[in-house]
Homo-oligomer: A and B are copies of this chain.
């Protein structure tokens, strides 16, 4: 009877091989802060975002294409780069029409894994573009893998919370036989009234790490829905905006 597509959540890149990536749309989730910043830069008119996995590659590519180079190590702009990872560094007046070359380790690695496994389509998800992601997935009616970038393969709370937020909105459109998804949703339902308070109370490791760097404003923004509601779509090495009515 059911003709609904399936939905699975991979809580870590180390688990992504368990899912049928090659038959699915993969959503790359790196809430604090890569995918939130990607959505924000594109929402504010960046031509595209090129995710790279190292500072040296970022510097090299930035020179070649005259892009903005961005990335952090230990909470500071990485040596040789121009900008950091905060979404607040990419207002329209700065980023419009430009190409952002962004180093991210966990998210870029997962993206490459999804590519190698033949994902049908790769998009990025974060609270700032939650609705765009959900609208697109519901419309496409294809199998979905929600891929949490995690932190050096260790499961993290904020990426799982975003997976839970997506599932909470899309539950009736998908066939979900996946405990990770149900756990993420249950956690999101518990925390959704105040996600900032939830990750604080539950001692999320990135909460502590970013608060130490004075980035409360970043965390709050990255946990707020639909402030940069575009759909970043991966194509030929770049993330570009795709209309949610594909």
Distance between Cα atoms of A153 and B18 in the complex (Å): 8
Write the nearest CB–CB distance from A239 to chain B, whole angstroms: 26
Do A18 and B154 form a contact, CB below 8 Å, given A177-B205, A205-B178?
A: yes
Interface size class of A (residues with CB under 8 A): 20 to 34
Q: Which A residues, 163 to 196, have Cβ-Cβ distances below 8 Å to chain B?
A: 176-180, 182-183, 185-187, 190-191
Q: Say yes or no: A187 contacts B187, CB within 8 Å.
A: yes
A14 at the A/B interface (Cβ < 8 Å)? yes
Set of chain B residues within 8 Å of A132, measured between Cβ atoms? none
A119 within 8 A of B: no
Is residue A202 contacting chain B, with contact meaning CB distance below 8 A? yes
Oligomeric state, in copies: 2
Residue among A154, A155, A157 with the highest chain B CB neighbour number at 10 A: A155
Give the residues in chain B near A185, CB-CB below 8 Å: 202
How many angstroms between the C-alpha atoms of A151 and B204 in the bound complex? Answer: 26
**Which residues of A from 139 to 161 have beta carbons under 8 Å from B?**
151-157, 160
Is the CB–CB distance between A180 and B154 below 8 Å?
Answer: yes
Asked if residues A155 and B176 are in contact (CB atoms below 8 Å), the reply is: no
| Min CB–CB distance A63 → chain B (angstroms) | 36
A190 to B14, CA, bound (A): 27
Q: Is B153 in contact with A179, judged by CB distance below 8 angstroms?
A: no
Pick the contact of A187: B14, B18, B183 (CB < 8 A).
Answer: B183
Apart from A160-B183, A186-B198, what 17 extra A-B contacts exist at CB < 8 Å?
A14-B14, A15-B153, A15-B155, A18-B152, A18-B154, A154-B179, A154-B180, A155-B179, A155-B183, A157-B182, A160-B179, A177-B203, A177-B205, A179-B205, A182-B202, A186-B191, A187-B190
